[in-house]
Amino acid sequence: MSQYEMRPAQLSDLTSIARVWHRAFFDDKIIGEIMHPQRKEHPEDVYWFLLRGVRERFWDWRHRFWVVVYNDEHGGERIAGAADWRRLGEGGGAMELSTMDPRNLIVPTIRAWHNFSLHLFPNRAADAARSSFLDDAVAASEQYWTGNRSEC
């Protein structure tokens, strides 16, 4: 058996996923340079930004998080990598909950908490004018996921 294993992420993995992505994308062109130009002065603010996104997408039923884990020197499980896949098209729609399912309240509740907490603890690393750059780019790309590309 390989020393690494891939498995679906669990709720208890979310902080580790954000930490792995924090290390991976800290100096990335988009998340690092464009969205968080003051990241060197406020490095943990980038982590909290990523954790907010992970929390919200984890409860979006079209998303599936996967982690790559290994056992550390103490026998504990550690996360080495993480991925977030989102299903589009009718297949993605089939993954959504019925409109009356109370679990649909999780994401709006988390978003409300995040919005409130950002008033108390703003993201000092971010450029406010560009902090939604990635979300805007993803939304703008939706127009290309049509026809035979709509089911991915």
pLDDT tens-digit series, residues 77-101: 999 999 999 877 776 677 777 888 8
pLDDT score, position 1: 47
pLDDT more than 90, % of the chain: 62
User: Comparing C-alpha atoms, which of 82, 88, 40, 83 is closest to residue 61?
Assistant: 88
The edge-to-edge listing of strands for the beta sheet with 77-86 is 5-8, 63-71, 77-86
pTM: 0.85
Residue 59 clears pLDDT 70, i.e. is over it? yes
